[in-house]
Structure 1
């Protein structure tokens, strides 16, 4: 048994013990998302249109992440709508930034690894970079959307008569905590995965200018910025959509009750 297999089994056991049915569904969500990423890579390598594949797999991945990882349908539905809308907005922003950055493709660090191999496989490196950036932001956006929707729904359940303005205010307070933890998670994840590369830059005496113009660093830094922007957009949008949806539901219920009387 390999180390990876053992860790997967331990993860499945712990998620089952801690989360019960939801934990099992979340575990299968991770497995399905991994398979979806492999499928995307295979389809791109076969020459299918990258932009169309990205548009198809964005909702598929969000459905897998949110609906399989959440036990409450109302939370999942609101989270999906807000996360999907934020992903579309962020995708447009990513397209513009990737065009201006011109950081797609392989850096000089990959030269020795690719000696003897063609670096022109007939695929669009800029579109691949856009797809990677979009998929990298999905997890952070979906996590923020679920956290906001779950918190606001619990407030609404415990205080059914809360006004839309008060619910939005509560969403702002919850959003401050969500933003803080999400940003730290994204930043520390980037520094943890890039620590060896930072050490390499330091040992090879890279200047600040060389680091800031290095493709690997620029791509990772851009992905972090996209994720942070996506989370920032998700917080107010989730609060607005859930508070508006709850107010409309209460108004509709009140009209039905009045007609019945």
Structure 2
């Protein structure tokens, strides 16, 4: 058995012990999303339209991440809608910035690896860069949406009489903590994955101008910014959607109770 297979088994066992039914569903969510990413890569390599593939698989991956990884339907539904709206807005921004940055494609660091191979595979590097950026931001946005929705719903369950205004204020307080942890996770994840590249820059005596104009660095930095912006938009939007939805449910419930009392 390979090391990867052993780690997958250990992960499955621990998620089952700690999370129970939700842990099992989350584990299968990870597996399904990994298979979806492989399928996306295969479809792109076969020459299918990259924008169409992205438009199909973004909501599909969101649904898999959120609905399989969340035990409460209200949390899942609110998180899905908030994430989809935010990703739609961020996607427009990604299209504009990727066009202005012109950082798609292979950098000089890949020259030796690709020596003797064609660097023109017949697909658009620009469209691939947009798809990669959207999928990279997707995970951070979905995580922030689920965290906010879960916290607000638990608060509503603990205090059923809480007003919409109080719920929004409490959501803002929860959002500060979610923002802090999410941003640290994103930034330190970037430094962890790019440590070898930073060593490359240092040992080859790259100037500051060369670093900030390097394709690999620019693409990674842009992805970090998209993810941070997505989290920033998700926190207030998820709070607003869930607070409004709960207010409507409370009003409908009170209206039904008054109608029932009048009938009696």
Q: Under TM normalisation by the shorter chain, which class is it?
A: over 0.9
The equivalent of 2:243 in structure 1 is: 243
The equivalent of 1:112 in structure 2 is: 112
Residue 117 of structure 2: SS of its match in structure 1? coil
1:185 deviation in Å?
0.2
User: In structure 2, how many angstroms separate the alpha carbons of the residues matched to 1:53 and 1:81?
Assistant: 20
Residue 249 of structure 1: SS of its match in structure 2? helix
After superposition, give the CA deviation of every residue in 1:29-84 in whole Å (9 maximum; x if it has no partner).
00000000000000001111100110100100000100000000110000000011
Aligned 1:105-184 pairs, distance under 5 A: 105-184=105-184
The equivalent of 2:90 in structure 1 is: 90
Q: Does 2:66 correspond to 1:59?
A: no
User: In structure 1, how many angstroms separate the alpha carbons of the residues matched to 2:249 and 2:22?
Assistant: 27
Deviating more after overlay: 109-118 vs 207-216:
109-118
Alignment gaps of 5+ in structure 1: none
Please list every run of at least 4 consecutive aligned residues from structure 1 whose deviation after the TM superposition is greater than 4 angstroms: none
The equivalent of 1:258 in structure 2 is: 258
User: In structure 1, how many angstroms separate the alpha carbons of the residues matched to 2:138 and 2:21?
Assistant: 24
Count of equivalent residues: 261
User: In structure 2, how many angstroms separate the alpha carbons of the residues matched to 1:131 and 1:80?
Assistant: 19
The equivalent of 2:5 in structure 1 is: 5
The equivalent of 1:49 in structure 2 is: 49
User: In structure 1, how many angstroms separate the alpha carbons of the residues matched to 2:252 and 2:96?
Assistant: 42
The equivalent of 1:185 in structure 2 is: 185
The equivalent of 1:15 in structure 2 is: 15
The equivalent of 1:210 in structure 2 is: 210
TM-score (norm 1): 0.99
The equivalent of 1:99 in structure 2 is: 99
Residue 114 of structure 2: SS of its match in structure 1? coil
After superposition, give the CA deviation of every residue in 1:181-227 in whole Å (9 maximum; x if it has no partner).
00000001000010011011000000000000000000000000000
Alignment gaps of 5+ in structure 2: none
